[in-house]
Amino acid sequence: MAKDNATDMAALAPVRALAAHVERGLIGHEVLVERLMTALLAGGHVLIEGPPGLAKTRAVKRLAEGLAGSFARIQCTPDLMPSDIIGTQIFRPDGGRFDFQPGPVFHELVLVDEINRAPPKVQSALLEAMAEGQVTAGGVTRPLGDPFMVVATQNSIEHEGTFPLPEAQLDRFLLHLDLGLPGAEQERAILDLVEGEARAAPVPPPARLDRQAIHAARQAVAGVHLAPALKDFIVRLVMATRETAGTAEEGLVEHAVSPRGSLALAACARARAALLGRDHALPEDVEALAPDALSHRLVPSWRATSEGLSARDLVGRFLGHVRPW
């Protein structure tokens, strides 16, 4: 069994090398890189929210550099149509037939930039792709690639001409990250990094991860041990969002976390543990990931909003009194 564990952990070495490459081109985004790699290992999608200029797109592009699969970027605008991302039927006059021309969603890694600028019809088309790994066009259902990962970004400070993502769409994201502006020390390091890149040749990425390598790494993640007590901790944390009567959070939750939240948190805990070189998950994995895995699945009440409490704030409060043991 020890030999099998060593073999499984070896399958994660290329993933850690890729994480190091992505991190080298970013400043102050260690958590962002860890969450991207966690989602890659768990087979989920990521929503990154934050003001412009925080290297959200840069991070995804660096991730794409290290993957052997195809990469596409979709720049969302209010006039975007579902066929622009799914694909469309093209008439071939020479053969008198219609052929399907696949859209960018058929790539293995898809960056959906400013997703909240896409109209609801486009968001619905993405919902099927993200949830089912397939798209339906012209009455025909076509499977997407495996692996298939969507990383979406949205601007947190500009709301004019946007279409907020509905809860059903948010729930399809494994993780939702909320990025903030860097401090003075990080800002100076960013200046040095950009200046250094302009003077020197770019450092090539490590050997690109192909489909087999990603599947092997995911198989290793599936073997990470999640103790019964840790599963109970995840369940108690999620149940705390539903059973608020008689607690300090009573009346603050409009819609609690669904069972998909428990599944997402467990999968992410396994992936993070494997990424950090462990064959077992720890409470610290759950506590670190809970805000990003649960906050977009929880809807605060009007009372909570009036008190200035966000969903992320509420998850932090639940973590404060739901303890691992």
Q: What is the pLDDT of residues 208-258, one digit of tens each?
A: 999 999 999 999 999 999 999 999 999 999 999 999 998 999 999 999 999
The region of weakest confidence among 23-27, 37-41, 264-268, 280-284 is 23-27
Which tokens sit at 306? Answer: 């009036």
Class of domain 223-321: mainly alpha
| Dihedral sign for Cα atoms in the order 243, 248, 250, 256 | negative
pLDDT digits (tens, 9 = 90+) for 186-204: 999 999 998 888 888 777 7
| Alpha carbons 303 and 307: distance in angstroms, whole number | 6
| 2 has pLDDT over 50 | no
User: Domains of the chain: which residue ranges?
Assistant: 2-198, 223-321
Please state whether beta strands 253-255 and 134-137 pair in parallel, antiparallel, or not at all (unpaired).
unpaired
The region of weakest confidence among 89-93, 150-154, 280-284, 299-303 is 89-93
Question: Mean pLDDT across the stretch 102-128?
Answer: 92
What percentage of the chain reaches a pLDDT higher than 70?
96
pLDDT at position 4, please? 54
Question: Mean pLDDT across the stretch 107-113?
Answer: 95
Question: Mean pLDDT across the stretch 265-271?
Answer: 98
Percent of the chain as helix, strand, coil, to the nearest 5: 50, 15, 35
pLDDT at position 158, please? 66
How open is the CA angle 221-227-230, to the nearest 5 degrees? 100
| Alpha carbons 200 and 30: distance in angstroms, whole number | 23
For 199, other C-beta atoms within 10 Å of its C-beta total 6
Of residues 115 and 1, more confidence is placed in 115
Please state whether beta strands 299-300 and 253-255 pair in parallel, antiparallel, or not at all (unpaired).
antiparallel
| 63 has pLDDT over 90 | yes
Please answer whether residues 88 and 101 qualify as being in contact, where contact means their C-beta atoms are separated by less than 8 angstroms: yes
| The total number of residues written for the chain in this structure | 325
- Distance set, CA 149 to CA 86, 109, 136, 199, 222 (Å): 15, 5, 18, 33, 18
- Nearest alpha carbon to residue 229 among 286, 304, 176: 286
pLDDT at position 242, please? 96
| Alpha carbons 280 and 205: distance in angstroms, whole number | 29
Considering the entire predicted model, what is its pTM? Answer: 0.92
Question: Mean pLDDT across the stretch 282-303?
Answer: 96
CATH node for 2-198? 3.40.50.300
